Amino acid sequence: MHHLKSLRVRVALVWLVFLLVVAFSLIQGSRVRANILAEENARFERNAVLASVASEVFTAQLVHQVGALLRAVRQFHRKTGAYAETEAFIDQLGFDRSLIDGIYLLDAEGWGVAKARGHNAAERDYFQHHRQTPGDSLKISPVEVGKVGGKLHFSISLRVERDDGQFDGVLMATVRPEAFSNHYRQLQGGEDRVFSLILSDSRRLLTRLPEPTPEQWARPVALENWPMILRDEVGRFVAVSPVDGIERVYVFRKIHQLPLVMFVGFAETEVAYAAAVRFERLQDIAISGLTILGLAGLILSLALISRERLATANVCLENAYEAMRAQAMSDALTGLPARPMFFDRLAQAVSAARRNERLVALLFLDLDGFKAVNDQYGHDAGDVVLKAVTHRWLTCVRDSDTVARLGGDEFAVIIADVLPGTSMQAVCEKIIAALADDIELPSGHFAHVGVSIGLAIYPDNGLEIDSLLAAADAAMYQSKARGKNTWTIATARPVANGEALDWLVFSDAHLLGVAEIDEQHRQLVRLVNRLNRAVNGDEDAGEVAGLFVRLFEATRQHFETEHRYMVQYAYPATTVHDHEHQRLLEELTRMSSETTPGNELLILQRVKDWLLDHINAADRQLGHYLVRHGCH
């Protein structure tokens, strides 16, 4: 009797253990399912963030490329003043027509010349904007059907001025929305992500994958989250898409210094489906004849394995992110450094030359006859020519020198650590001679190109990055005017009457019409010029840091002044403008902390752009508003 009772206890204990194991397994199964869902959510969102970063880089580079083309055309037009010659110059640029549809010149009355002849844009928003707004800023306009080509495009435009600063017309480049589609498809990575690029001022779509219907291009995107989007640089929200009615998780990212916001969205149903597939796979493995105890152990093991896999996936994503950053720093076609890496290396070379009393030679190269190759043999042939040119030029310089592709058929060469008195004639002639032989194309044809070179020397022709680049660029155009396939040394000088010229000049074009704000802008310009002289005068790090502190304090006081005016005159965008002030102060703090020997010139260039963008963009709008409401 006692034995039976003991057996029943043991059986009960077995069943109790069994039931506990089953209960534990069920609980763990629920936890594993929840963990998988959370991991998939994190994976989808992380992928979306990485895709938005890559799209931001792609978009910023494209807009920068278009801006460089427009400024080159504007500079040529200022020199010649002839519409026919300017149109011929545009035809010779050889820009990538898979991205840029065309570049058009409009006169001061809004009439198109040459290809756009007969079309008047005087009443268009972008034309009115440039007519009323002096400055060098680009205007990005919403998607529309082109009057010349009849295709959907959005435009990027730039004001043209005469030498006296008077309005002289508009240069406009048209960009096809579908030019972005292949880039977005490459970033989808097998997931059904949605990509949208939206103008923050008009809230109109510039690009989208999948593409919207024709009427949706013209309709502002209705989102309840716009206040947050306008306030924050990056963020996340859940919303029903106004385009296709699907609820998605969206990550957004503002494109730096542009009125653009990049959205990448994914549906939570996709996350749930991916998690369900993973969990079903776990169940299939578990049900393959294992006992309940084995199943419980397997679920725990798989949970650990899934975490390890997630960690591995995170490492892969980090590697992918670093690869995308490296891709943004290098030209995809030639493998040469692109603009960001070029500016970084030029800054380092100039900083080292200043410390070691050496020179830096900057060669600005523009191919002659490249457009004819594209027109006659196609863009694939043009790519072959660019690769061949790159290979030949790399053999003309030292390993320590830098050959960079700035965009299209524009290149630059940085020759660092040059002894005073060294002539660059041999290098220039070697680069020109490297293109003497024809380039064989895959079709069996032969192409021939030349090169016009502009040479600027640090410190003879400029002390700052942009000054040096502008001097080399101007010299290159002189080579073009002299008959091409030659080189010209810059004539610009950074000094006059024994005193350093102001690097940043505050002119009447920068005036807003509000005396107190204009005077504070002058003070900020003076401080930036003082900072520039401190860096170029090799003053110690303490003096430079002190100037950053003074600049920060003057900027903070200036922003307090602007806030007072905005409140007094009920400026409708006060909250947005205040948020921009906070961002600018944070950016100035970051630039101050990042200033180290070797990169100080790059930081200086960023400080200059930081201030001019502040004056020419948001503050100009504020100034117009205050003047209209009687403030002087």
C-alpha neighbours within 13 Å on the C-beta side of residue 467: 24
Instruction: Classify residue 15: in a domain, yes or no.
Output: no
| 517/583 same-domain check | yes
Closest listed residue to residue 184, CA positions, set 319, 55, 63: 55
312: amino acid identity, one letter: T
> What is the separation, in whole angstroms, between the first and last Cα of the chain?
108
Q: What is the pLDDT, as a whole number, of residue 413?
A: 95
| Mean pLDDT of the region 281-308 | 45
DSSP 597: T
Structure tokens at 59: 């978009």
- Confidence band (pLDDT; 50, 70, 90) for 619? confident
- Residue-level pLDDT at 305: 39
pLDDT beyond 90 at 364: yes
Verify that 435 and 546 share a domain, yes or no. Answer: no
Residue range of the domain that includes 392: 339-492
Which pLDDT score, from 0 to 100, does residue 607 have? 81
- The reply to whether 308 and 357 lie within a common domain is no
The answer to whether residue 7 is domain-embedded is no
Of 308-317, 427-436, 606-615, the poorest mean pLDDT is in 308-317
pLDDT of residue 32: 66
Residues 28-85 have pLDDT tens digits of 556 667 777 777 777 787 778 777 777 787 788 788 878 888 888 888 888 887 788 8
Same domain for 147 and 209, yes or no, is yes
Higher pLDDT, 277 or 254: 254
The tens digit of pLDDT for each residue in 496-514 reads 433 446 777 788 888 888 8
* Residues constituting the chain: 632
Considering the domain architecture, whether residues 262 and 398 belong to the same structural domain is answered as no
In a domain, 509, yes or no: yes
Q: State whether 297 and 349 are in the same domain.
A: no
Structure tokens at 576: 């947005």
Residue 614 clears pLDDT 50, i.e. is over it: yes
Tell me the mean pLDDT in the region 510-528: 88
Which position has the higher pLDDT, 166 or 294? Answer: 166
For residue 254 the two structure tokens come to: 């503002």
CA distance 362 to 346: 8
Instruction: Examine the domain organization and report whether 53 and 135 are in the same domain.
Output: yes
Tokens found for residue 533: 């002289």
Q: Does the pLDDT at position 296 exceed 60?
A: no
Mean pLDDT in residue range 372-395: 91
pLDDT range class, residue 489, cuts 50, 70, 90 = very high
pLDDT at 300: 39
* Domain boundary pick from 447, 468, 492: 492
Strand order in the sheet with 410-418: 402-407, 410-418, 359-368, 450-458, 487-489
Same domain, 425 and 484: yes
d(CA 502, CA 225): 44
CA angle 438, 444, 450 (to 5 degrees): 20
Helices marked H in 482-540: 515-536
Q: Do 446 and 506 fall within a single domain?
A: no
pLDDT score at 525: 87
Whether 563 has a pLDDT exceeding 70, the answer reads: yes
pLDDT band at 214 (very low <50, low <70, confident <90, very high): confident
The pLDDT value given to residue 20: 58
The per-residue pLDDT for 432 is: 95
Structural domain ending residue among the three candidates 305, 329, 353: 329
Q: What is the mean pLDDT of residues 178-202?
A: 78
Does 122 fall in a domain?
Answer: yes
Please provide the average confidence, as pLDDT, over all residues in the chain. Answer: 79
Of 425, 315, 438, 278, nearest to 369 by C-alpha is: 438
pLDDT at residue 317, as a whole number = 41
Would you say 425 and 400 are in contact if contact means Cβ atoms under 8 Å apart? Answer: no
309 and 246 share one domain: yes
pLDDT of residue 499: 42
User: Does 484 fall in a domain?
Assistant: yes
Q: Is 578 an active-site residue?
A: no
User: What would the pLDDT profile of 16-29 be if each residue is shown by its tens digit?
Assistant: 554 555 555 455 55
- Residues 98-120 have a mean pLDDT of 79
139 lies in a domain? Answer: yes
Q: Which residues pair with 252 in a beta bridge?
A: 235, 263
Q: At what angle do helices 2-80 and 181-188 cross, to 10 degrees?
A: 160
**291: CATH:** 3.30.450.20
Token pair for 481: 């005017």
Q: Which of 366, 409, 460, 518 is catalytic?
A: 409
pLDDT greater at residue 279 or residue 167:
167
Residue 301: pLDDT band (50, 70, 90) is very low
Query: Does residue 11 form part of some domain?
Result: no
CB burial string 391-403: b at 16+ within 10 A, e below: ebbbebbeeebbb
Distance from C-alpha of 177 to C-alpha of 544, rounded to nearest angstrom: 45
Residue at a domain's end among 273, 296, 329: 329
Is-contact 115 104, C-beta < 8 A? yes
315 and 449 assigned to the same domain: no
- The set of residues, in sequence order, having a beta carbon less than 8 Å from that of 490 and lying 6+ positions away, is 454, 455, 456, 457, 461, 462, 471, 472, 474, 475
CATH label of the domain that carries residue 436 = 3.30.70.270
Q: In what helix (H) or strand (E) does residue 478 lie, and over which residues does it extend?
A: helix 465-481
Query: In this model, does residue 455 exceed pLDDT 90?
Result: yes
Q: What are the residues whose beta carbons fall under 8 Å from the beta carbon of 10, sequence distance 6 or more?
A: none
The tokens for 124 are 């268009």
Model confidence at 593: pLDDT above 50: yes
- Give how many domains the chain has, as a whole number: 3
The pLDDT value given to residue 159: 92
- Residue 198's region, left for phi above 0, alpha for psi from -120 to 50, else beta, is beta
Q: What is the mean pLDDT of residues 270-299?
A: 57
Identify the bridge partners of residue 195 per DSSP, sorted by sequence position: 209, 264
The domain that contains 519 carries what CATH number? Answer: 1.20.120.50
CB 356 within 8 A of CB 350: no
Residues 431 and 517 reside in one and the same domain: no
Which of 83-92, 204-213, 216-225, 485-494 is the least confident region?
83-92
- Give, in order, the Cα–Cα distances in Å from 426 to each of 422, 430, 431, 433, 492: 10, 6, 9, 10, 22
Amino acid at position 598, single letter: G
CB 72 within 8 A of CB 474: no
Q: What is the pLDDT of residue 23?
A: 54
pTM for the structure as a whole: 0.46
Residue 476 lies in a domain: yes
User: What single letter denotes the amino acid at residue 61?
Assistant: Q
Give the percent of the chain with pLDDT over 90: 16
Contact 173/408 with Cβ under 8 angstroms?
A: no
